[in-house]
């Protein structure tokens, strides 16, 4: 399989994520999140088994479309945590951070296990992945409390009408002043970070003659930094900076400093340090923004609302790497970093100058800003 097909597979996955995040989020509001999580696990398991046992390019594309559409576990889990937490829970950012730290641990351990298993048998990694999804399903069935649809069906009991009401709830979420602001911040955070991270392996090779092994160490370091940031750094920052406004200001400040340090780093070791600071700044911003966005969503539309957030990040995942490549060709590592600094600095200025929200759905913001 050539690089063109690899790129097309990635594009198919991102496109499916964009659509699937909206559909699965709305479906979770209409029929309940527990069932949708089980659907997500089942679809993902089937997809990975197809990858392991098929020799057909067409089936490979089908597999990536399937897993992209149904694997929305993070957005659904975030909406579940939000619904279970108190509406006045100021530690929601920390809780989301711990969940993301667990995910980062998986991203560190998974590739190591996958590499070792594939050397024994190429089908072992995908088979183990499917088995883990089956175990996850059992855990959800046994331990997750029964969740009722947050959008109650109409008197005729029509699930289809309940689904349509949940679709309309997406419009309500986007139309709200507060939620729209958090969505814009989500786009800015993911876009600016992706501008830098997309070209880091190439930049390491060109500037410091780092090969595949060195970039492997680099990515492992970022994974470890993510675990530490999400499990320790974010909770500490959340306790030190009590208000959302100062949490956002601290996250933007760290991110701007890290972007600048990445450009000026004279060695590979300092580049790793700068990248770790990016992970810290992004961790503070993304968890804070996600927590406040989920709390500002209209009641009964957390699944659909988080689906919109997932669609925004997927869209940034398509746009940002493409633009990053163009900018890198024009100005090396400096130009993407400069654009990221300007965008993040504009967001910082917006946060500093923003008055407390006045929307009825933003009582939480009035207390924390």
Structure tokens at 331: 């100005």
Per-residue pLDDT, 173? 63
Per-residue pLDDT, 366? 45
Give the model confidence (pLDDT) of 248-263 as tens digits.
999 999 999 999 999 9
Tally of CB atoms within 10 A around 288: 29
For residue 263, what are the domain limits?
3-143+169-353
Query: What secondary structure letter does DSSP report for 360?
Result: G
In a domain, 368, yes or no: no
In a domain, 362, yes or no: no
Q: Can you give the CATH number for the domain in which 233 is found?
A: 1.20.1250.20
d(CA 300, CA 357): 22
Model pTM above 0.75: yes
Average pLDDT, the chain: 82
Average pLDDT over residues 70-98: 79
Decide which of 65 and 361 is more confident.
65
In a domain, 161, yes or no: no
Question: pLDDT > 90: what percent of the chain?
Answer: 31
d(CA 100, CA 286): 10
Question: pLDDT > 70: what percent of the chain?
Answer: 84
Mark out the alpha helices in the chain (DSSP H runs): 3-31, 33-53, 57-70, 73-84, 92-120, 124-143, 159-175, 177-197, 200-208, 212-228, 234-240, 244-264, 268-296, 302-331, 334-353, 363-368
In a domain, 155, yes or no: no
d(CA 226, CA 106): 11
Under 8 Å between Cβ of 238 and 184:
no
Q: How many domains does the chain have?
A: 1
Per-residue pLDDT, 230? 81
In a domain, 31, yes or no: yes
Per-residue pLDDT, 359? 37
In a domain, 154, yes or no: no
Per-residue pLDDT, 93? 79
For residue 251, give the 3-state DSSP assignment.
helix
In a domain, 369, yes or no: no
Average pLDDT over residues 230-250: 84
Q: How confident is the model at residue 364 (pLDDT cuts 50, 70, 90)?
A: very low
In a domain, 252, yes or no: yes
């Amino acid at each position: 399989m050539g690089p063109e097909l690899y790129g097309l597979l990635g594009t198919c996955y991102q496109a499916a994520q964009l659509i699937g995040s909206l559909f699965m989020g709305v479906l979770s509001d209409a029929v309940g999140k527990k069932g949708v999580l089980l659907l997500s696990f089942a679809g993902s398991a089937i997809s990975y088994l197809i990858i392991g046992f098929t020799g057909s390019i067409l089936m490979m594309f089908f597999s990536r479309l399937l897993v992209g559409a149904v694997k929305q576990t993070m957005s659904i889990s975030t909406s579940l945590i939000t619904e279970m937490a108190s509406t006045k829970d100021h530690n929601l950012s920390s809780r989301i951070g711990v969940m993301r730290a667990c995910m980062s641990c998986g991203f560190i351990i998974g590739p190591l296990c996958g590499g070792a298993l594939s050397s024994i048998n190429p089908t072992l990694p995908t088979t183990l992945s499917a088995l883990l999804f089956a175990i996850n399903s059992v855990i959800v069935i046994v331990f997750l409390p029964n969740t009722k649809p947050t959008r109650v069906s109409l008197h005729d009991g029509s699930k289809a009408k309940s689904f349509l009401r949940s679709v309309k709830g997406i419009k309500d979420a986007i139309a709200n002043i507060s939620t729209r602001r958090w969505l814009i911040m989500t786009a800015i955070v993911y876009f600016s970070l992706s501008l830098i991270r997309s070209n880091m392996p190439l930049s390491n090779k060109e500037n410091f003659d780092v090969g595949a092994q060195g970039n492997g160490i680099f990515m492992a370091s970022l994974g470890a930094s993510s675990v530490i940031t999400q499990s320790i750094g974010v909770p500490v920052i959340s306790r030190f900076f009590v208000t959302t406004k100062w949490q956002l200001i601290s996250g933007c400040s760290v991110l701007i400093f890290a972007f600048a340090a990445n450009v000026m780093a004279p060695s590979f070791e300092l580049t790793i340090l700068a990248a770790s600071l990016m992970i810290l700044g992004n961790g503070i911003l993304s968890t804070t923004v996600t927590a406040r966005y989920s709390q500002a969503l209209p009641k009964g539309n957390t699944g659909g609302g988080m689906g919109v957030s997932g669609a925004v990040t997927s869209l940034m995942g398509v746009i940002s790497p493409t633009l990053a490549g163009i900018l890198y060709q024009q100005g090396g590592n400096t130009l993407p970093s400069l654009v990221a600094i300007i965008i993040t600095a504009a967001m910082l200025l917006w946060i500093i100058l923003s008055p407390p929200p006045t929307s009825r759905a933003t009582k939480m913001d009035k207390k924390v800003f």
